[in-house]
Amino acid sequence: MTLVTPVLGVSARRQSIDVLNDSYIPSNTPPGSNTWPSANLAIYVPLRVVSRVVVRQLWLAATGTGTGNVDCGVYNPGGTRLVSAGSTARVAAVAEQVFDVTDTTIGPGLYYWALSCSNNTDQVKSLVPVAPLPAAWGVLSEALGSVTLPATATWVVDQTLALIPVGGILLETVTT
Amino acid sequence: MIYVPGYVEPVPPMISPYTFGWGSAAHERVVGSEATSATWESASRAVYMPIFIPTPTILTRVWWANGATTSGGATIEVGLYRDAGYKPGAKIVSGSATQGTASQVQFVDVTDTFLLPGLYWIAVTSSSATNTTMFRGTPADASLDAVLRMQEASASPLPATATPVESAVTNNWLCGFSTTTIT
């Protein structure tokens, strides 16, 4: 018996697969501008990818406070980095910060959208449920030695994490 | 050759009544605010919350979210029950432990259990209600109780077969099971 997926003609429902719409975080409150918890912390947010898609760009919801560098990427459930932007200067503006990445086919399945930040003063648009709610939603973290996301994540259930950044995957290139 | 449906539902790492599309409490129309710490409602009461599992899933651990006070040293148990006519029936698996560190998700390893798609019930009970808190949400309106839970008295430890009754209590406890072993 052979299972074949996807069926021809099936595609993702939107151009963005993101924390607000495709994670497992109840949407009780809207995101706000909040300070990154600690320098070189990577936060991994599980995303449900329900069909086969091509990752063309990544994005984060930036704010006007941003002087450091960030890295943004996608991991499979085993912790292997599939694609990332590399260390990139933060945009200091209330806007999407978009990262061009190598076109990468993923899904369907569970993936993790990752974001790291080089300092603990920059702000990102984020959800801030009290700890340990992010852990209960499946959000993971890792203390890195630098801002660059690792090839293999050594992630942990972070019992004190109280911030979930907003961003995601773009399936088509956008002009900013 | 079998073709699967166009959309494939991935398996979340943490499954609870708050999991979108799977649990009854995930939608903000039902539970309108974040879960918060609250005292366990009644010693040895079991609370059963429905969970629809849409895709084959392997349960590896059970868990609950400890609240601000855990000094009561209660034994907490979380389990999964089969559905029996839209009520919880036979217990499939459960795990228990003395309540640990406050404001942490507490995991208990259980035998890896394969679950076929269908309706199940997550159960949670506590041996004590004194100095025992866990995270829970409450529905936006008390008249929504019926979608959230059933309950049973004198059910610590969790019984092999549930004997549930309808509940008029609004707590929807944050607990469930994990499909990973990440610590």
Cβ of A64 under 8 Å from any chain B Cβ?
Answer: no
Strands B57-65 and B133-137: unpaired
How many beta-carbon pairs under 8 angstroms link A with B? Answer: 113
Cα–Cα distance measured from residue B125 to residue B146, given in angstroms and rounded to the nearest whole number: 19
The pLDDT score that the predictor gives to residue B33 is: 81
Q: Smallest Cα–Cα separation from A59: which of A72, A46, A50?
A: A72
Q: Smallest Cα–Cα separation from A62: which of A165, A143, A172, A161?
A: A165
Residues A144-174: tens digit of each pLDDT: 999 999 999 999 999 999 999 999 999 988 7
pLDDT at residue B91 greater than cutoff 60: yes
pLDDT at residue B4 greater than cutoff 60: no
Is the reported ipTM for this assembly greater than 0.90? yes
Cα–Cα distance measured from residue A112 to residue A82, given in angstroms and rounded to the nearest whole number: 10
pLDDT at residue B56 greater than cutoff 80: yes
The pLDDT score that the predictor gives to residue B31 is: 78
What average pLDDT is seen over chain B? 92
Residues B15-34: tens digit of each pLDDT: 999 998 898 877 667 777 88
Q: Is omega for the bond preceding A132 within 30 degrees of 0, making it cis?
A: yes
Residues B115-150: tens digit of each pLDDT: 999 999 999 999 999 999 999 998 877 666 667 899
The pTM of the full predicted model, rounded to 2 decimals, is 0.94
A138/B9 CB distance under 8 A: no
What fold does the segment set A16-170 form as a domain?
Jelly Rolls (2.60.120)
Cβ of A133 under 8 Å from any chain B Cβ?
Answer: yes
B12/A48 CB distance under 8 A: yes
Q: Which CATH number fits domain B16-28+36-178: 2.60.120, 2.40.160, 3.30.720, 1.10.10?
A: 2.60.120
Cα–Cα distance measured from residue B10 to residue B179, given in angstroms and rounded to the nearest whole number: 11
Helix (H) or strand (E) holding A104: strand A96-106
The pLDDT score that the predictor gives to residue A2 is: 54
| CB-CB neighbours of B30 under 10 Å | 21
The pLDDT score that the predictor gives to residue B24 is: 80
Average pLDDT over residues B52-81: 97
Cα–Cα distance measured from residue B79 to residue B95, given in angstroms and rounded to the nearest whole number: 6
Residue A123 and residue A35 in contact, taking contact as beta carbons nearer than 8 Å: yes
Angstroms from A91 CA to nearest CA on chain B: 31
pLDDT along chain A (176 residues), means of 10: 52 85 84 97 96 95 96 98 98 94 95 98 96 97 98 98 97 75
Cα–Cα distance measured from residue A109 to residue A159, given in angstroms and rounded to the nearest whole number: 25
pLDDT at residue B2 greater than cutoff 70: no
Residue B63 and residue B108 in contact, taking contact as beta carbons nearer than 8 Å: yes
Residue B126 and residue B40 in contact, taking contact as beta carbons nearer than 8 Å: yes
Angstroms from A135 CA to nearest CA on chain B: 7
